[in-house]
Structure 1
Amino acid sequence: MTDASAPLLKEEELVTLACRAFEAQGVARDRARVTAQILALGDMMGIHTHGLLRVVNYCERMSLGGIDVDAELEIETLAPALARVDGHAGLGPVTGITALELTMEAARKTGIAATFCKGSSHFGAIAPYSLLAAEQGFASIIATNASVTIAPTGGSEARLGNNPIGFGFPDPGGDPVLIDMAISVAARGKIRAALKEGKSIPEDWATDRDGRPTSDPAEALKGFLQPMGGHKGYGLSLAVDMLCGVLSGATYLTHVSSWVDHPEAQQKIGHVFILIDTGKLGSPDWLAKRMRDATSLLRETPASDPSRPVMVPGDRELARLSAARTEGVRLDASLVEEIRALGAGA
């Protein structure tokens, strides 16, 4: 838990803090700022596992060669609405933002467009990218593959990543619907937090190294995660890896190196950005009316617990973002000091 006495940091303070750490590693200022902005948005949306916490990991991997500070992106236009970006083992958010902007530009012309990424690294949470797309009027499907933590149904070894996928739907004049989810029942970050706090975990979160369900977070971290929905989660994780790994030309399945076990290794993972220009489907007023009706039908659902009304995906994250832009965000004091120390030479 973050100390309630920790200072509140505004958006620009978060960005500057992270930016200095990256620049001290030799990252060019524009790339450092893009990466810092994506991570800051993660914290501001309450996705702290994909916020400035990642600065430390990124810097360690850059110092060891797992992320190439000097990587030059390579862009291929494959068709009017299809492109590929090779990150050449550079910073994932730089590859991600480049792909997002390319896809928006193409979708404005063609209505729908896709960009595949390869040679990338961890690119932060998906929700910030979905939000940026929605603010420009684009519906989105965005996904990334990852190092293996999930076993295929019936298997006793991890062969699939906890591959996140996200969806975004703009609401002109209102808040977009944002869905950002990994494939496991619970993220490894929650298991690490339980271990740190000396707590047990639900048995449906993970298994031990022999594939047996466990409530011991230490054993769970030696084993693998349970996919949501059993075999359906297995299928969804595989579908993401087919898109982001196999079709993109990136690494996939067990070919993806673990950044935890081998921070010096270049993962060269893949992402996919699929965007739809909703302006081609109808006017902003048309879409706004339909979105308001759809979200109202959900929010007006009678709640089983009156103290916890039904929410629409993205409500919580956007409320946190709004509060963060007004009040700031509290980060663990030790993390802030660690990042400041990393940026001391910038």
Structure 2
Amino acid sequence: MQQQVTLSIEQAQALGLEVLLGNGFNHEHATAITRSVVSAQRDECHSHGLYRLIGCVDTARLGGIDGNARPEVVDHAPSIVKVKANRGSSLSAFERGKPLLVEKANATGIAVLAITESFHFSALWQEVEALSDEGLVALAMTPTHPFVAPAGGTKALLGTNPFAFSWPRPGKAPYTFDFATSVIARGEIELHRRAGEAIPEGWALDAQGNPTTDPDTALKGAMLAFGGHKGSALSTMIELLAGPLIGDVLGHETAAAAESGEKRPYHGEFVVAISPRAFLGEAADEHLAHAETLFEEIAGQGARLPSQRRFAARQRSLADGVKIPRQLHEELKALIPNSRR
């Protein structure tokens, strides 16, 4: 059992900011990234939590993310907002583009935010929930580097290609789901590697296309799509919508930053916002209330709605703080320059 360190939410935020500000990220990027990783840690989404700061710093040191990039927001069309991230974090690009996206969705009923040339590592549920907080239905998707073999294949070609959806619920936390189209998020394999634990069967293949339960071997091979050909098809859809449709690249045309400087870790994100009030007018409240019957029927069978575990974790963390492995805590503190410790 790994030794744990407990941090208050405020201490976790301060740690994140110290790490990022001390490694060349400006305040806008550092704040957006810290907000994301601390929110994930708070909700016990460990694969997208504080440990992701290590990857952000490593990528910045390799020139794979510009921590001082200024996102450019373009009012492209009545229902389209474009944000060119300019090799900065997708998180600050989203925050820059969100106000205009919300305005357009409320005016036209549906609007799209297209983020291009961004470094993306974060959980998508945070972005769709932020839009549900505005009373909007939201979808978000993004490709990743090629980690996943297409159904029937043996070599990494598709990304883990996550997809998220959020539905606003009056007076309640939204109905939200967020999942990779791979069997599991790549971060989960990395966490197993860090803990020295085997991964379950059915997650990945080795470099020769054989099943493996060794996380190091899996990270050098290929992950599998969830649901076989169905997950593989959804993954392909995400590549197309968040790539060629918005003028960005496909996942296999990207790669993590490297010492040579030849790798391109930038790609796109596709976000859709839908306004129930624009669709339904004065009847919006009635139909949103009607939607509750579906959630009640699901819960009535004893089934768990997506994100309920995460919302429960949120309440625990707000009361008791967040827990991270002591080793991770030491690694993060080591990233802070002496002048900022």
Deviation at 1:255, TM superposition (A): 0.6
Q: Distance in 1 between matches of 2:195 and 2:53?
A: 23
- 8 Å CA contact retained: 2:62, 2:259: no
**1:33 alignment partner in structure 2:** 31
Q: Which amino acid aligns with 1:297?
A: E
Please show how residues 174-253 of structure 1 align to structure 2 within 5 Å: 174-253=172-251
Match of 1:333 among 297, 311, 326: 326
> Once the two structures are superposed, what CA deviation does each residue of 1:86-141 show, in whole Å capped at 9, x if it has no partner?
11111221123223333212212222100111100124101111221111111100
Q: Distance in 1 between matches of 2:330 and 2:196?
A: 25
Please show how residues 2-151 of structure 1 align to structure 2 within 5 Å: 3-4=3-4, 6-10=5-9, 12-151=10-149
- 8 Å CA contact retained: 2:62, 2:257: no
**1:317 alignment partner in structure 2:** 310
Deviation at 1:278, TM superposition (A): 2.2
Call closer, same or farther: CA 1:148–1:36 in 2, change over 3 Å: same
State the SS of the aligned residue for 1:55: helix
Q: Which amino acid aligns with 2:300?
A: E
State the SS of the aligned residue for 1:343: coil
TM-score for both structures, normalised by structure 2: 0.91
Name whichever of 283-292 and 330-339 sits farther off. 283-292
- 8 Å CA contact retained: 2:29, 2:67: no
Call closer, same or farther: CA 1:38–1:264 in 2, change over 3 Å: farther
Q: Distance in 1 between matches of 2:322 and 2:260?
A: 31
Q: Distance in 2 between matches of 1:339 and 1:198?
A: 19
Q: Distance in 2 between matches of 1:191 and 1:21?
A: 24
Deviation at 1:260, TM superposition (A): 7.8
**2:298 alignment partner in structure 1:** 298
Q: Which amino acid aligns with 2:297?
A: L
- 8 Å CA contact retained: 1:44, 1:321: yes
> Once the two structures are superposed, what CA deviation does each residue of 1:201-221 show, in whole Å capped at 9, x if it has no partner?
333211111222223333322
State the SS of the aligned residue for 1:160: coil
Q: How many residues of Structure 1 are paired with residues of Structure 2 in the alignment?
A: 337
- 8 Å CA contact retained: 1:67, 1:266: no
Call closer, same or farther: CA 1:270–1:164 in 2, change over 3 Å: same
Q: Distance in 2 between matches of 1:153 and 1:262?
A: 32
Q: Distance in 2 between matches of 1:110 and 1:2?
A: 52
Call closer, same or farther: CA 1:7–1:258 in 2, change over 3 Å: same
Q: Distance in 2 between matches of 1:214 and 1:262?
A: 30
Call closer, same or farther: CA 1:195–1:52 in 2, change over 3 Å: closer
Query: What is the aligned-residue identity percentage?
Result: 30
Deviation at 1:261, TM superposition (A): 8.9
> Once the two structures are superposed, what CA deviation does each residue of 1:212-261 show, in whole Å capped at 9, x if it has no partner?
22233333222101101111111111110101111122221321113589
State the SS of the aligned residue for 2:304: coil
Q: Distance in 1 between matches of 2:51 and 2:82?
A: 29
- 8 Å CA contact retained: 1:72, 1:87: yes
Call closer, same or farther: CA 1:143–1:154 in 2, change over 3 Å: same
Structure 2 stretches of 5 or more lacking a match?
none
**1:306 alignment partner in structure 2:** none
Call closer, same or farther: CA 1:201–1:26 in 2, change over 3 Å: closer
Q: Which amino acid aligns with 2:52?
A: R
Call closer, same or farther: CA 1:222–1:89 in 2, change over 3 Å: same
Call closer, same or farther: CA 1:202–1:242 in 2, change over 3 Å: same
Instruction: Please report the RMSD computed on the Cα atoms of aligned residues, expressed in angstroms.
Output: 2.2
Structure 1 stretches of 5 or more lacking a match?
302-308
State the SS of the aligned residue for 2:169: coil
Q: Which amino acid aligns with 1:274?
A: V
